Every structure is written in structure tokens, then in C-alpha cells.
Structure 1
Amino acid sequence: MKIDAHQHFWKFDPVRDAWIDDSMQIIRRDFLPQDLKPILNENNIDGCIAVQADQSETETDFLLDCATQNTFVKGVVGWLDLRTENVEERLAHYSKNTLFKGVRHIVQAEANDFMLGKDFQNGIGKLAPFNLTYDILIFPPQIEDAIALVNKFPNQKFVVDHIAKPYIKSGEIEEWKTKMTELAKAQNVFCKVSGMVTEADLKHWKISDFNPYLDVVFNAFGIDRILYGSDWPVCLLAAQYQEQLHIVQNYVKDFSKEEQSKVFGLNAVKFYNL
């Protein structure tokens, strides 16, 4: 089974989605399952994981509704407030739906010590009993906090979104490489090769720009802990679906069929319990 392990749906709201500014006109509209399905079909991808883009339970409910009505949406990474006192109750509520696979918080928009907060960590500690995953969305300066987090919760399954958003456009790599290699030592951490084109030069990237970063990730995490994700429709800021897919396909073209199957689906099935 081929899985796109990271994409988004939304009904565009200019107030709620203020992060989609005037420079992002191409994604200032609705993106719904009926828009993605033909694209997945064209690229021989069987299903996808819908990931939250807004920090509200309304968003989680919307994504679960999308998944319930569209069988190709194999799971949802939603949002709920991990810092709230009734976090266990909310997790129990959402876990009744088998399509609810995990939780994400947009930590990249938070202060650097956010993941070290007592309330947040209390919420992280409640996920494993419900067999739920956690998606880590961060910028490179936050990787050190991520290392502390994943080591504190060795029985929790984590996945790093967008290879932690290295500064591909400027070619910076060494500090990110050191920290990602350290993060990958924790065997409970996976990594999504996703969201890379939007960290590169949006209009002038080339496939070779990504290979040094992919080298780091594949060497650090190994073939069993890497998941392909498109980050559609955000990827459209820099590439069509097939273009961003080709970056990863090109990188693994000399890998065995079994190894390619892991990157493009089997690892996602394992990680998200699909």
C-alpha cells in the first residue's frame, strides 16, 4: 500500500487561515478530499494521512468527517489541547474513532522551550495508553528541545515533520545535521521526508538541492523509520504534486523494491497503525 503520510484539507477562512498571506494566492482557496483523490490516483498512491492545520477541536472534527466520508483518507493527525487538565478525557473521546491516529501542535510558532513545559509534557504522557502518535513540527533551533522530549518518553511514538525544516534555500546544513543525527538515536522517533520544497528557493529549486539533506535523514533514521509525505496543498507554493514526489522517488531509485515500499507506505502503515 502506497501512503502519502502528510497532507492537509481546509475550507479557506481568511481570518482563521491568516498564515496564508497574499504571497500565497495559489493556496488561498478550499482544498478538499475530492481535490486530492484524482491526484493520488494519477500518482498511484492508495491513501493518505490528513494532518491538522488549525489548532482547534473543530479542525479535528472536520478532518475526521473527511476521513469517514472518504476511504482513501486512512487516518487523521488532529489537534487537541495537550496542556488542558481534562486532556485524558478529550483523548478518550477522540480515540473512540479508529481513524484518529495521533496529535500535532504547531510548535514551530511557539517559544523554544514550549515542549519542555510541564502541562505539555503531561499531555504527551497521556498519548501512549491510547496508542496515539505525536507529530513534531519544529524549526531547527527547537531540535534540542525535541531531543529532550523524545528521550523523556521512550515508549511514545514520535515523527518529525518536514525533516525539521532545515534552511535549504541558504544551504545551511551542519548544525541541523548534528542535531538531527542526535535526535535519530532515539528509536521511538520517525521522520517524514515532506515539506522540503517550501524550505528551498520556491521558484528556482533543483533536485540536487535536496540530496545532502536526504543523505542526513536516511543515514540517521535508516530505511525503517522514514515516511514519505507531500505536504499538499502547501507544496503548491513551490511544486506540483508530481514534482515534489519525484524528488524522493529520484533519491530512492536505486534502493531495493522492499526499501522503496517502506518509504512510500509500509512505514506509515506501521507508524500510524493503519
Structure 2
Amino acid sequence: MIIDTHLHLIDQSALRYPWLVGVPALNRDFSYEEYAADARRSGIEGVLHMEVDVDPADIAAETAYVKSLAGRAGSLLRGAIASCRPEEAGFETYLETVKAEPFVKGFRRVLHVVPDDVSEGALFRQNIKRLAGTGLTFDLVVLPHQIPKAVALADLAPDVQFVLDHCGVPDIKGNAEHPWREHMEAIAKRPNVTAKISGVVAYADPATWTVDTLRPYVEHTIRSFGWDRVIWGSDWPVCTLGGGLTTWIAATHALLAGTSESERARLLSGNARRLWRLN
């Protein structure tokens, strides 16, 4: 069975998503019901919602919206990774609010859409350090050339658990492995970073990719981090750009062929359960 650690839901009647204007293929509603139908058929038994970079004014509303869906009978939703703005003075107060809400399991601030110096600011770094001891994780989504910025954050806050999204966002369509490969080896040396096997089908050529196209990137990530520090995510609906949820799950199983039952169980569910203390 699978724990999906990276689901995006889009409901434009409830929340605002300014960035969708620039991504026509995703500029529609993607509902929990649409996701859950395929997820249940594919062996997903629990899921964490990943923030969708909503309008900053809607950050708290997004968490409340997802929590309401989780309250429905039989819901797969087990928690949320919430949006945040560590570069802003209000983060400390926001953190105190989130600490009182067990449904929130961590934070993410999308860093590849802002200037590199955002994560280098003194306030940003001070606020990241505040996560130590809270049990809240911080997801890092950066481009390959920005992975050293993620390394710096991991070194700055060794008591904070970080999650590197999407295998470090390699340029698979461009068949580019460098400097991504070296940077992945470097960040994997930080014991407080876990890698998320997700997103890669969206970075490959949607018309031509095969399992072997993805294999060098997925296997290098797993080899670098080890089986105890990798988790799985669908990145739905972004994965629809490369074939969809069931296609990505089928590719995952093909990529894991020949591995042990224990290794598969850790990547697909066990590590996520331990990391976020999920049932």
C-alpha cells in the first residue's frame, strides 16, 4: 500500500491561485473526488495535501479547506503541508497557530519562483530555525542549480527535518544530469534531509518517456539517500502533464522491480508514516 505525500487540490471557487494563469493545462479545478477514484484503485491508503501556492491571503483558508475534506467519512487525507512565508515578520505568530493544529504536518515555501536571496535572508533563516523541536517538516522545492541553497538551509538548521521535493527537479527532458547529480550527492550527506520520489514524469518528454528515461534520476536519488530517507509522492495533478496518477504509479512499481519487499515498503509508506507519525 502507498502513502502519497504530495497531493495538490485545486478549487477555484474556494481559493485563489494566481500562478495558474500561466499554466493553461492545470488551470481548472482538480477535486478530491477525481483524485480519490484513481488513488483507491491504485493502492493509495493515505495522503498528505501539499500547499498549492495560493494567494497569500488564502493560506489559512487553504488549510481549513483541506481539513474539511479530511473530516468526511472514509477520506484518504491524513494531514497537510501548509504554505508559509518565513521571510515575513508574521511567521512566528503563524507558527504558534499551526503548532496548535495537529492536522498540519509541515510547511513549504516554493523557492524556485522567488529570487535566490529570499532563502538567504536573516529573517527567513531565523524563522526556519524556529521549526526545531516542533515536529514540523519543511519541504524544499528548488531547481538543480539551487540545491546548494537547500544544502545551506539544512546545515543552518540541523535539528529541522527537511524534505527535498521531486528528486531535486532534474531536467529529464533535456537529459541533463549535471550538476544535478553532484548536488544530489551533496545534499544527501545531510542526515536531516529526506528525498521525495515525485514529480519526475512532468519533467520528461510527455510523448516519449519510458521507465528507462526516469530510471537514472530515480535510482541516483535512492542510491544517494538510502532506503530509510526516501518517500513517495504523486504530485497530482502536475503528474497529469506526464501521463497521470495511474501511469506514475505503474512506472514506480516498474522502477522498484527487483528491490526487496522491505525496501519497497519503506519508500512507499513506512518512511512517511515514521516521519509524520501517521496511522
Bin of the TM-score, shorter chain as denominator length: over 0.9
CA contact (8 A) 1:112 1:141 kept: no
Residue number in structure 2 paired with 1:3: 3
Distance 1:42 1:211, change over 3 A: same
Which of these residues, 64, 78, 89, is aligned with residue 74 of structure 1? Answer: 78
Which of these residues, 195, 216, 221, is aligned with residue 220 of structure 2? Answer: 216
Residue number in structure 1 paired with 2:250: 246
Distance 1:238 1:18, change over 3 A: farther
Q: Percent identity?
A: 28
Unmatched runs of 5 consecutive residues or more in structure 1: none
Matched residue type, 2:123: D
Structure 2 residue 97 is the aligned partner of structure 1 residue 96: no
Corresponding pairs, count: 273
Tell me the alpha carbon deviations over residues 165-220 of structure 1, each in whole angstroms, 9 at most, x when there is no partner: 11100101021000110000001100111000111112221111111111210110
Tell me the alpha carbon deviations over residues 42-80 of structure 1, each in whole angstroms, 9 at most, x when there is no partner: 001101110001243332332233333364111100012
Matched residue type, 2:173: K
Residue number in structure 2 paired with 1:262: 266
Structure 2 residue 88 is the aligned partner of structure 1 residue 84: yes
- RMSD of equivalent CA atoms: 1.9
Tell me the alpha carbon deviations over residues 14-54 of structure 1, each in whole angstroms, 9 at most, x when there is no partner: x94343347633x3322222222221110011011100012
Matched residue type, 2:27: R
Residue number in structure 1 paired with 2:40: 41
Residue number in structure 2 paired with 1:54: 53
Which of these residues, 241, 258, 275, is aligned with residue 271 of structure 1? Answer: 275
Matched residue type, 1:34: E
Partner Cα distance (2:95, 2:23) in 1: 37
Which of these residues, 90, 111, 118, is aligned with residue 114 of structure 1? Answer: 118
Q: Give the secondary-structure state (helix, strand or coil) at the position aligned to 2:86.
A: coil
Distance 1:68 1:24, change over 3 A: same
Structure 2 residue 207 is the aligned partner of structure 1 residue 203: yes
Structure 2 residue 134 is the aligned partner of structure 1 residue 130: yes
Residue number in structure 2 paired with 1:24: 24
Residue number in structure 1 paired with 2:67: 64
